[in-house]
Amino acid sequence: MPPARARLVLLAILLATAPLSACRQRHDREGPTATPAAASSPAAPTETARLAPVPSPTPGSASPGCGSPPGAGAVPGTTSVRTITAGGRERTYRLHVPAGYSTTTPLALVFNFHGLGSNAFEQEVYSGLVPLSDREGFLLVSPQGVSNSWLIAPGVDDVAFTRQVASALAGEFCIDTNRVYSTGMSNGAFMSSTLACLAGDLVAAVAPVAGVAFREGFCGRPTPVVAFHGTADAAIAFEGGTLPTGGRYAGVMPMMAGWAGHNGCDESPAETRVSPSVRMLHYQGCTAATALYIVDGGGHTWPGAIDVPRLGPTTKEISAAELIWSFFQSHPRR
């Protein structure tokens, strides 16, 4: 099947569930408006998804932008809104350059996709990744979807848009091209799942929050995946089933089983109790690491983030942002 056709088929399959978010994503605009500091500090987990020392950039992985000063507006420790023409459209994204950025040190690049009905700014705040970017030293990109969505707008190729942004940034900034990652919330989690399938040559690992997805036969190379999902998610139900808008979601465990099979894992994962209401399932024997954090009683929310009551309970026992970055650190492209 031609790549373009395969992309359309996969997106159609994944998006059978995406419209369900519309019935509640209007609340995303109401909720994440405070700064991440408004949330209490999550407790440190007893175990993460098999961390390893951060490797040095491999020869050839430093992007062309290394050694050159970045463009105007790229001030370390600040966020700027940028535009790019992709697919004949003017698209925008928010770029946070970490404090202490150096033109000679290749950094990781993290994409952070918003949910349906939300936007790049809200996701930037809600995820809590900006302070982490400054502390840990990685470039953070929060793209803006057409019609505040991913993979839905007619005639829009969001995978190609992501590639174009990554390429533009690699030409301007010093990026370790073996450490390009993607995370996202809800519809943005579907987007990250799609990138793992269709852009495995670009992203080294992904971390979908409240929306992991997989479709057998349409994904490329094995890709490390760490997912997060609440058992009381009323938008994308943990157990799956018919959704308010008529779409169907197979459920989190079938989706994770799909990734586990694709990544060469054993069928039965090991379970670790991380905190009173959080369990981690870690699949064994994998070619690419595969893990799931289950939040018992958790809603359609980002663990460790500010509370958005209409989306359900938000655990403060773990920080998805911290765990995602730890997972990314230990899973560069090999």
**Which residues constitute the domain of residue 174?**
3-35+57-329
Q: What pLDDT shows up at residue 37?
A: 29
Which of 70-74, 229-233, 245-249, 257-261 shows the lowest per-residue confidence on average (mean pLDDT)? 245-249
**Cα–Cα nearest to 70, from 139, 172, 141, 165:** 172
Q: What residues form DSSP beta bridges with 165? A: none
- Distance between CA atoms of 192 and 225, rounded to whole angstroms? 10
Question: Up-side HSE of residue 110: CA atoms within 13 Å toward CB?
Answer: 30
- Assign 332 a pLDDT band (cuts: 50, 70, 90): very high
Question: Tell me: the pLDDT tens digits for 136-181?
Answer: 999 999 999 999 999 989 999 999 999 999 999 999 999 999 999 9
Residue 152 inside a domain? The answer is: yes
- Distance between CA atoms of 57 and 180, rounded to whole angstroms? 12
Q: What pLDDT shows up at residue 54?
A: 44
Residue 182 inside a domain? The answer is: yes
- Distance between CA atoms of 122 and 135, rounded to whole angstroms? 20
**Residue with more model confidence, 51 or 81:** 81
Q: What pLDDT shows up at residue 217?
A: 87
- Distance between CA atoms of 13 and 17, rounded to whole angstroms? 8
- Assign 39 a pLDDT band (cuts: 50, 70, 90): very low
Residue 46 inside a domain? The answer is: no
Q: What pLDDT shows up at residue 46?
A: 36
Residue 139: CATH number of its domain: 3.40.50.1820
Q: How high does pLDDT run on average in the chain?
A: 86
- DSSP calls for 48-59: -S---PPPPPPT
Q: What residues form DSSP beta bridges with 110? A: 140, 181
Report in angstroms the alpha-carbon separations of 184 from 64, 163, 226, 302: 27, 16, 12, 10
CB atoms within 10 A of CB 178: 17
Q: What pLDDT shows up at residue 218?
A: 87
Q: What pLDDT shows up at residue 242?
A: 66
Question: Tell me: the pLDDT tens digits for 198-256?
Answer: 999 999 999 999 999 998 888 999 999 999 999 999 999 999 976 555 578 899 999 99
Q: What pLDDT shows up at residue 19?
A: 37
- Distance between CA atoms of 187 and 70, rounded to whole angstroms? 31
Residue 45 inside a domain? The answer is: no
- Distance between CA atoms of 207 and 215, rounded to whole angstroms? 16
Contact 304, 42 (CB under 8 A): yes
CB atoms within 10 A of CB 57: 20
Q: Is the pLDDT of residue 24 over 80?
A: no
Number of folded domains that form the chain = 1
Question: Tell me: the pLDDT tens digits for 176-201?
Answer: 999 999 999 999 999 999 999 999 99
Q: What pLDDT shows up at residue 58?
A: 57
- Assign 4 a pLDDT band (cuts: 50, 70, 90): very low
Q: Where are the beta strands (DSSP E) in the chain?
A: 78-86, 89-97, 107-113, 138-143, 175-185, 205-209, 225-230, 241-242, 248-249, 270-275, 278-282, 290-295
Q: What pLDDT shows up at residue 88?
A: 95
Q: What pLDDT shows up at residue 5?
A: 38
Percent of the chain exceeding pLDDT 70 equals 81
Mean local confidence (pLDDT), 66-83: 94
CB atoms within 10 A of CB 245: 12
DSSP 62: B
Residue 51 inside a domain? The answer is: no
Residue 47 inside a domain? The answer is: no
**Residue with more model confidence, 52 or 209:** 209
Residue 49 inside a domain? The answer is: no
Residue 24 inside a domain? The answer is: yes
Alpha-helical segments (H) within 158-222: 158-172, 187-198
Q: Is the pLDDT of residue 298 over 90?
A: yes
